[in-house]
Amino acid sequence: MKMDMSAVLPEECISKIISFTCARDACRFSVVSSLFKSAADSDAVWEKFLPSDYQEIISSSVSPSLLTTNLSKKDLYLHLCRNPIIINNGTTSFAIEKKSGKKCFMVGARELSISWGNDSRFWAWLSLPESRFGEVAYFRYVWCFDVKGKIDTKILSPKTTYAAYLVFNLHEYGFRKKPVESGVYLEKLDNGERRSLFLDPPPSVNRGDGWKEIEMGEFFNENGDDGTLICNLSDFSSRHIKQGLFIEGIELRPKNS
């Protein structure tokens, strides 16, 4: 004889049990019965799925009102999955990965270290409606370049393999069949390993937000105490003129999300 758990356990206990699962499982539990839906949709459950420092991140963003609205914790979770918020004085975005609730960050172009980035002969800074940031970098005309993004590992989710992605667009054909190098490494532990990437023709992916992305490398964040992570894109070959590259930023998000 099967026992109906909802007839034995109070809603608070069911919520406690569900809070040890994940967001995807909670959504599955919510269709079992009206009691399970109430338990699975409760703030007590979804508070557990949000990053532990979510309030600090949101309060320092351009959208601090998210903390004072009447959004349930579930609605806040889903909002952060679908709508990255801007932090760090407008130069970085924050979101959460829908299945795991782990943190995702994009370092915008203005926060990147770009060789000759302030020389208008080589780079331009443009405002585009499809970008989440106020400005993107436009690569005009150079032979060699070096772009670096930095992020402190302590703000990433622990016990997580992250992939770094260049978020870009191409306006001309300056990169056709001309590889560039990428590397993802800790600031003081560069082992020299690099990947060769072809931006055009691309193995890249259309993101659905008006931009393309290509993986630059990956990094396992153990406990967040490894220091600064560097994501580097470069070409020092000086053999070809390169032009027509738009860079929105470099995004770090959980691998296989």
31 pLDDT band, cuts 50/70/90, is confident
Q: Has residue 233 got a pLDDT over 70?
A: yes
pLDDT score at 242: 67
- Residue 177 exposure: Cα atoms within 13 Å on the Cβ side: 0
Residue reference for tokens 């980035």: 117
Average pLDDT of the chain is 88
Q: Using CA atoms, how far apart are residues 142 and 88, in angstroms rounded to an integer?
A: 30
Rounded-to-integer distance, Cα 210 and Cα 56, Å: 30
10 contacts: CB under 8 Å, gap ≥ 6: none
Provide mean pLDDT across the span 33-45.
89
The amino acid at 203: P
Judged against a pLDDT cut of 70, whether residue 202 lies above it is answered with no
Per-residue pLDDT, 240: 65
Distance (Å, whole) CA 94 – CA 105:
5
Asked if 242 and 146 touch (Cβ cutoff 8 Å), the reply is: no
Predicted pLDDT of residue 171: 79
Choose among 81, 10, 5, 12: nearest CA to 42: 12
pLDDT bin (cut points 50, 70, 90) of residue 1 is very low
pTM for this one? 0.88
CA angle 73, 76, 81 (to 5 degrees): 130
